[in-house]
């Protein structure tokens, strides 16, 4: 087998795998209505808040000076007691979270108006019961979803008999529609269109053509910037400058692996001018150290994982089940509270271990893939402090216990050849 041809094949497979994972994350974010957490959503949000705030401030100043529907809506916004910056923030977050998906303007506006009211109610709660909120802060912060946080505050507010006038759906719509219209005009990311039809007619919010083109461009630029990197089956390219080392065939434009992680290309050019022959020589020696997969440990790890044994730091393969509900949960408040606390602990534990399960599954997958090769190698890069890190993910000599245990030096030597003499 020509290992250099095999390495080039593996690198192309690695890039295809990384792209598929990247695309899958985008699809999941869109389906969950959480596009604000994507690479393009984060950029769109940061760029939108300031123009949204400035346009909202201008609109409020103008609306207060003339009577009519707009004046009534700005009065309603003023009564909510939420600052313009917070209004701009919530609006941008809500629209960007569903940026690429067209939807009914009425539905989106009502949801936004309801979120604004939730913000206002939380502020009123903080002013009315500051000591209670301080005790709830950790519980609310640790809640995994917006719906759960809202439910906690609503439940406590009801027990404290907090007086609050619930806004109507019509009022939610009035607030939300105005904010969305201002967002559309000030950012150019979305537009409102009219659709004719008996069943699905009405106003819809949809991304502009320019926005969709920008999203595709941003995704194309970023899909390989954080790849799922694998070990190599030949020694990595030697480092002689900040761009020369590592994988054989990765496109330095689409998937760069600079020696030092830095956002500024000028910083890398400065490093190149300085020259670091001794550093590069040391790193190249590390990269050229061959390893092999410890198949015996891999077999044990796979067996433990298949049996879902919680040992040696391994999490179980599946979520823990919720405790059974008491038979009288609907009438026994004490039993209901006890069950809720126990269920909350299980939910929290499942959330914290989910990423560990993914890590172990991918580590086993990589070890299985590379156990056929007599030697594998790991490219190294540095952070801004000069600390060296393996470029490959999951399976590496710098990984957690189960990852390190899966590796052996390919050219192993006894630490103490005269061990018997030394013991005597």
Band the pLDDT of 386: cuts 50, 70, 90: confident
By DSSP bridging, strand 380-382 and strand 388-390 are antiparallel
How high is the mean pLDDT of the chain?
Answer: 85
**Shared-domain flag, residues 41 and 7:** no
What average pLDDT does the segment 63-85 reach?
79
**Shared-domain flag, residues 341 and 206:** no
What average pLDDT does the segment 158-177 reach?
82
In the predicted model, is pLDDT for residue 424 greater than 50? no
Q: How far apart are CA 333 and CA 167, in angstroms?
A: 30
User: pLDDT value at position 253?
Assistant: 38
User: pLDDT value at position 200?
Assistant: 64
Q: Is residue 98 part of a domain?
A: yes
Radius of gyration of the chain (CA): 28
Band the pLDDT of 146: cuts 50, 70, 90: low
Q: How far apart are CA 205 and CA 177, in angstroms?
A: 10
Which residues have CB under 8 Å from 192's CB, separation 6+? 105, 180, 181, 184, 203, 204, 205, 206
Listed residues 194, 221, 248: the one ending a domain: 221
Listed residues 190, 221, 252: the one ending a domain: 221
**Shared-domain flag, residues 100 and 122:** yes
**Shared-domain flag, residues 204 and 105:** yes
Band the pLDDT of 418: cuts 50, 70, 90: low
Q: Is residue 16 part of a domain?
A: yes
Residues 250 and 243 sit within 8 Å (Cβ to Cβ)? no
Give the chain's domain count: 2
User: pLDDT value at position 180?
Assistant: 95
**Shared-domain flag, residues 39 and 22:** no
Each residue's pLDDT tens digit, 325-367: 888 888 888 888 888 888 878 888 887 788 888 889 999 999 9
Q: Is residue 418 part of a domain?
A: no
CA angle 174, 176, 178 (to 5 degrees): 70
User: Residue 61 belongs to what domain range?
Assistant: 33-221
Band the pLDDT of 254: cuts 50, 70, 90: very low
Residues 403 and 291 sit within 8 Å (Cβ to Cβ)? no
CA 395 to chain centroid, in Å, comes to: 21
Each residue's pLDDT tens digit, 78-137: 888 888 999 999 999 999 999 988 889 999 999 999 999 888 887 777 777 777 666 666
Q: Is residue 244 part of a domain?
A: yes
SS3 for 119-136 is: HHHHHHHHHHCHHHHHHH
User: pLDDT value at position 50?
Assistant: 96
What average pLDDT does the segment 398-409 reach?
93
User: pLDDT value at position 317?
Assistant: 85
Is the pTM of the predicted complex or chain greater than 0.85? no
Q: Is residue 373 part of a domain?
A: yes
Q: Is residue 424 part of a domain?
A: no
**Shared-domain flag, residues 55 and 190:** yes
Handedness of CA 252, 258, 263, 264 (dihedral sign): negative
**Shared-domain flag, residues 388 and 259:** yes
Band the pLDDT of 155: cuts 50, 70, 90: confident
Averaging pLDDT over each range in 145-149, 178-182, 247-251, 272-276, which range is the top one?
A: 178-182
**Shared-domain flag, residues 75 and 144:** yes
Residues in the chain: 424
- Cα distances (Å, whole numbers) of residue 42 to 19, 48, 49, 76, 97: 19, 10, 11, 30, 10
**Shared-domain flag, residues 176 and 247:** no
DSSP annotation of 407 = E
The percent of residues in the chain predicted with pLDDT above 70, rounded, is 86
What average pLDDT does the segment 182-197 reach?
89
**Shared-domain flag, residues 287 and 343:** yes
In the predicted model, is pLDDT for residue 417 greater than 70? no
Least confident window among 200-204, 310-314, 404-408 = 200-204
Listed residues 197, 221, 245: the one ending a domain: 221
By DSSP bridging, strand 190-195 and strand 202-207 are antiparallel
Handedness of CA 343, 25, 34, 106 (dihedral sign): negative
Each residue's pLDDT tens digit, 19-37: 888 888 899 999 888 999 9
In the predicted model, is pLDDT for residue 13 greater than 70? yes
Q: Is residue 379 part of a domain?
A: yes
Specify the CATH number for the domain of residue 58: 1.10.1320.10
Each residue's pLDDT tens digit, 227-248: 788 999 999 999 988 888 899 8
- Cα distances (Å, whole numbers) of residue 412 to 239, 292, 298, 378, 402: 25, 10, 18, 17, 20
Q: Is residue 333 part of a domain?
A: yes
**Shared-domain flag, residues 306 and 237:** yes
**Shared-domain flag, residues 288 and 370:** yes
């Amino acid at each position: 087998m020509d290992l250099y041809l095999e390495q080039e094949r593996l690198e192309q497979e690695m890039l295809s795998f990384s792209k598929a994972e990247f695309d899958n994350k985008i699809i999941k974010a869109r389906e969950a209505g959480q596009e604000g957490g994507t690479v393009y959503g984060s950029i769109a949000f940061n760029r939108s808040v300031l123009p949204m705030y400035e346009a909202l401030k201008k609109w409020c100043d103008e609306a207060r000076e003339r009577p009519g529907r707009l004046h009534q809506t700005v009065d309603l916004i003023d009564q909510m007691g939420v600052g313009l910056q917070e209004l701009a923030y919530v609006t941008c977050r809500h629209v960007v979270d569903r940026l690429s998906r067209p939807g009914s303007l009425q539905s989106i506006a009502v949801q936004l108006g309801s979120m604004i009211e939730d913000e206002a109610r939380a502020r009123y709660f903080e002013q009315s019961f500051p000591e209670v909120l301080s005790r709830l802060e950790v519980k609310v912060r640790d809640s995994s979803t917006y719906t759960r946080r809202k439910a906690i505050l609503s439940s406590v507010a009801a027990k404290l008999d907090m007086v609050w006038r619930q806004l109507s759906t019509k009022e939610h719509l009035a607030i939300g529609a105005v904010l969305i219209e201002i967002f559309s005009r000030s950012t150019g990311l979305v537009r409102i269109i009219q659709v004719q039809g008996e069943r699905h007619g009405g106003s819809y919010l949809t991304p502009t053509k320019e926005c969709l083109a920008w999203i595709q461009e941003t995704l194309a630029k970023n899909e390989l910037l954080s790849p799922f990197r694998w070990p190599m089956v030949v020694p990595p390219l030697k480092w002689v400058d900040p761009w020369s080392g590592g994988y054989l065939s990765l496109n330095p434009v689409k998937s760069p692996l600079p020696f030092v992680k830095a956002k500024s290309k000028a910083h890398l050019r400065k490093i190149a001018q300085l020259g670091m022959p001794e550093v590069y020589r040391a790193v190249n020696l590390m990269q050229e150290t061959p390893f092999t997969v410890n198949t015996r440990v891999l077999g044990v790890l796979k067996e433990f994982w298949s049996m879902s044994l919680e040992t040696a730091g391994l999490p179980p393969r599946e979520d823990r089940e919720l405790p059974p509900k008491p038979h009288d949960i609907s009438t026994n408040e004490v039993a209901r509270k006890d069950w809720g606390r126990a269920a909350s602990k299980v939910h929290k534990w499942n959330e914290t271990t989910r990423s560990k399960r993914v890590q172990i599954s991918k580590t086993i997958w990589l070890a299985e893939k590379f156990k056929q090769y007599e030697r594998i190698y790991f490219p190294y890069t540095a952070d801004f402090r000069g600390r060296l890190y393996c470029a490959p993910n999951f399976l590496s000599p710098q990984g957690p216990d189960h990852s390190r245990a899966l590796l052996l030096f390919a050219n192993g030597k006894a630490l103490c050849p005269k061990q018997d003499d030394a013991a005597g």
